[in-house]
C-alpha cells in the first residue's frame, strides 16, 4: 500500500508529497505499528509467513504445467488432488500411503462415520498397506 501511494506521488512537489503522506501513509503506518506491538506481546505470532509460502511453493511451480490442462475438468481434478496431498501432509500423513488407504476403503464406506474415519486427521499415522 505504501509503495502504491509513493507511485502516485512520484511527480509531485516535496510539500505535496509530505501532505499526502500525512493523509494516506500515516494511517497505514499506524496499523503496522499496532501489528508490531501485538507481535511482541504474543508469542504465538510468527515473525514471517515463510511456512505458508513454503506450503504453496509446489503449487506455484506446478502452475505452469497445469496451465495447459486439456479441459476445465482436468484442471479442477489437478487442483483437487493437490488439495488432498497438501491436507495429508499438514496432518502428518505420507500422501501416497494415505491416498492409497482412502481409495481402497472408500468403495466400502456406507455411513458418515465410515467416511470421517478416512479423513487424514482421523487416520493413524501407521496405516496398514
Tell me, letter by letter, the H, E, C secondary structure of the chain.
CHHHHHHHCCCCCHHHHHHHHHHHHHHHHHHHHHHHHHHHHCCCCCCCCHHHHHHHHHHHHHHHHHCCCCCHHHHHHHHHHHHHHHHHHHCCCCHHHHHHHHHHHHHHCCCHHHHHCCCCCCCCCCCCC
Q: Region 122-127: what's the mean pLDDT?
A: 72
Quick one: pLDDT band at residue 105, thresholds 50, 70, 90? Answer: very high
Domain layout of the chain by residue ranges: 2-41, 50-116
Q: What are the φ/ψ torsions at residue 117 (nearest 5 degrees)? A: -65, -20
* pLDDT tens-digit map of 36-46: 888 888 888 88
pLDDT of 120 strictly over 70? yes
Quick one: pLDDT band at residue 125, thresholds 50, 70, 90? Answer: low
* pLDDT tens-digit map of 10-29: 999 999 999 999 999 999 99
Amino acid at each position: 500500500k505504501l509503495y502504491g501511494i509513493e507511485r502516485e506521488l512520484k511527480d509531485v512537489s516535496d510539500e505535496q508529497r509530505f501532505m499526502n503522506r500525512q493523509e494516506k501513509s500515516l494511517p497505514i503506518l499506524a496499523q503496522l505499528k499496532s501489528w508490531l506491538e501485538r507481535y511482541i506481546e504474543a508469542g504465538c505470532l510468527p515473525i514471517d509467513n515463510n511456512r505458508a509460502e513454503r506450503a504453496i511453493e509446489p503449487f506455484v511451480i506446478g502452475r505452469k504445467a497445469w496451465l495447459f490442462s486439456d479441459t476445465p475438468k482436468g484442471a479442477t481434478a489437478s487442483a483437487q488432488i493437490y488439495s488432498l496431498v497438501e491436507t495429508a501432509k499438514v496432518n502428518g500423513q505420507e500422501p501416497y500411503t494415505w491416498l492409497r488407504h482412502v481409495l481402497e476403503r472408500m468403495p466400502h464406506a456406507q455411513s458418515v462415520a465410515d467416511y470421517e474415519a478416512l479423513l487424514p486427521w482421523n487416520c493413524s499415522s501407521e496405516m496398514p498397506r
